[in-house]
Amino acid sequence: MYTKEIGKNLFMVELETGGFKNLICSYVIKGRKPFLVESGPANSIQNLLTALEQLDVKVEDVEFVAITHVHLDHSGGVGTLLKSLPNAKVIVHPRGMPHLIDPERLWPSSRKVLGFVSDIFGKPEPVPKDRVIPVTEGSFDLGCGAKLTVFETIGHASHNLSFQESFNGGVFPGDAAGTYLPEFDVVVPTTPPPFYLDAALASLDKLISLKPTVLYFSHFGKALNAKQLLEDYKIQIQLWAEIAEEGVKKNWSFEQIRDRIIVEDNVMGLIKDFVMSHRIYSKTVLENCVKGFIEFAKQKQSS
């Protein structure tokens, strides 16, 4: 675990969940009051609390924890975290709210999709209802004339939010803009089923229209060439969708579709050895994200 100053009043926390580096991070905005973006998974909350101490953030001062969506890797730890933040409220999309208050259904469904990865992330604890603020649009005062603005950017999930902070003009896209691999300066899809291509593309256009100076990926870290990455990601998910559609039409196996994607997508050509040998990305990127496109293609064909 480490913390890093990445902008004006802004810090990144490498959560190192399960010992995995460059996988999941949280962010701390030091405005009028400390403001967190993403709690990360339950199993790395202790690392996040240690980071707050290192950053001289008093737990009782934290006012808000904004979460982009309720998947385990982004907010599975928020219930646990709130036990240590007596005055903090959680900002979440209204469609994600029920799963925070009662995570009993989220856990088995996450286990089904993520398999062994869900054990690395840990089981979520419930968040008291009166500590949740459901939001789809709006803004929060960060002090010194700065604010954090909320945007609905669905597609990856039916309830993904993005946030833009005005200290630096950067955007936290959650999983709306893919997974950023800092080792290669590229993005790869975050598209587990159910994935909604048209909504995802519309969300990317919305993010591009915000003219972000930088992107703060939850996976992983700050990326400078925001506009280029968003445009690249649009092209990439359209390519994956085309291949999946062709594959479904021609009755290709899952492996045939996956391998065609690896051949056709230049980014995958560049990173395939890294992704294939990565314990988590081999499961999420090469399995779940491909499945997201296949299911989307099947649904499109049957409708």
Site for Zn ion, rule CB under 5 A: 73, 175
CB 100 within 8 A of CB 55: no
* CB of 237 vs Zn ion, minimal distance in Å: 15
Question: Judged by CB, which is closer to Zn ion: 142, or 188?
Answer: 188
Is 80 or 288 the residue whose CB approaches Zn ion more closely?
288
- Inter-helix orientation angle 290-302/226-249, to 10°: 60
Contact 239, 227 (CB under 8 A): no
Name the residue nearer to Zn ion (CB basis): 175 or 265.
175
Rounded to the nearest 10 degrees, how much is the dihedral formed by the CA atoms of 121, 224, 162, 232?
-90
Least distance (Å) from Zn ion to the CB of residue 73? Answer: 4
> Nearer Cβ to Zn ion, position 31 or 41?
41
Nearest distance from C-beta of residue 5 to Zn ion, angstroms: 24
CB of 60 to Zn ion, least distance (A): 29
Give the nearest distance from C-beta 41 to Zn ion in angstroms: 10
If the CB atoms of residues 91 and 176 are measured against Zn ion, the closer one turns out to be 176
Q: Are 24 and 129 in contact (CB under 8 A)?
A: no
For β-strands 186-188 and 179-181, DSSP reports them as: antiparallel
- For residues 261 and 280, which CB has a smaller minimum distance to Zn ion in the complex? 280
| Residue closer to Zn ion, measured from CB, 152 or 175 | 175
Calpha distance 169→1 (Å, rounded)? 26
User: With contact defined as beta carbons under 8 Å apart, do 197 and 236 qualify?
Assistant: no
Shortest Cβ 75–Zn ion spacing (Å): 10
Closer CB to Zn ion, 165 or 175, in the complex = 175
Residues in CB range of 153: below 8 A, 6 or more apart = 160, 161, 162, 173, 174, 176, 203, 206, 207
Residue where the block lists tokens 């293609």: 297
CA dihedral for 76, 163, 267, 224, sign (positive or negative):
negative
Rounded Cα gap, residues 81 and 49, in angstroms? 8
Name residues whose C-beta falls within 8 Å of residue 107's C-beta, 6 or more positions apart in sequence.
118, 123, 124
Q: How far is the CB of 54 from Zn ion (least distance, A)?
A: 24
Minimum Å distance from CB 217 to Zn ion?
Answer: 9
Alpha-carbon span 94 to 14, nearest angstrom = 28
